[in-house]
Amino acid sequence: MRSAWLAGAAAAVTAISVPVLTASTVLTASTVLTASTVLTASPARAATEAKTAATWNQAAAALAKKLEGDPYAYGGTSPAGFDCSGLSQYVYRHAGRGKVISRTADEQFLHFKRIPRAAARPGDLVFFHDTSDPGSYVYHVGVYEGGGAMVAATTSGGRVELQSFAWAGDTVTFGTITH
């Protein structure tokens, strides 16, 4: 009795054509019930998105490195002079197809997805907090280059430079908007 009911219910469901939207196509409920269709589409799209994110992140990391040596300027947002968040904002706006992000380090942190260091890719951002509490105020940001290095605009009179962030200990978090 139960198997007959299930067979009837399955037939009724496949007869209904309810549009289901995906990023690339419109599917019907009967198509969605085909496991092979769903399983082959999702991994391919996920792989494409991951490759796009990796490529964009690489472009961001490369652009940050090209800006090494540019002068520090409080409130600066261009190669004529950068502060830390102005540098990250500029890199994100000008890398690849560009991504618009907030102006200050703390605002950038609030809009990024927090990720563990092991998941960070070059081009992601490194955030510096007042305390080891990851919810504390973010006062500094740099563009992650891999390992223990980032590109950042440091201090008045300084320049954009590749530097270690080991000095910050457990007050550092990582963030992404690409993966």
| Mean pLDDT on 73-91 | 98
Domain residue limits, the chain: 41-176
| Mean pLDDT on 13-41 | 35
What is the pTM for the complete model shown? 0.74
Query: Is 95 buried (19+), middle (13-18) or exposed (0-12) by CB count in 10 A?
Result: buried
DSSP secondary structure, 107-174, as one string: HHHHHSEEE-GGG--TTSEEEEESSS-TTSPEEEEEEEEETTEEEEE-STT-BEEEEE-GGGGGGEEE
List the single range of 24-28, 78-82, 104-108 with lowest mean pLDDT: 24-28
CA angle 15, 21, 24 (to 5 degrees): 120
Expressed in percent and rounded to 5, the helix, strand and coil fractions of the chain are: 45, 25, 35
Q: What does DSSP assign to residue 70?
A: P
- Confidence category of residue 49, pLDDT binned at 50, 70, 90: low
CB 69 within 8 A of CB 97: no
Check pLDDT > 50 for residue 33: no
- Considering only CA atoms, which of 115, 135, 131, 133 is closest in space to residue 123? 115
According to the model, what pLDDT value does residue 166 have?
Answer: 96
Q: Retrieve residue 169's tokens.
A: 């200990």
For the segment(s) 41-176, the CATH number from 1.10.1760.20, 3.30.565.10, 3.90.1720.10, 3.40.50.720 is 3.90.1720.10
pLDDT digits (tens, 9 = 90+) for 89-128: 999 999 999 999 999 999 999 999 999 999 999 999 999 9
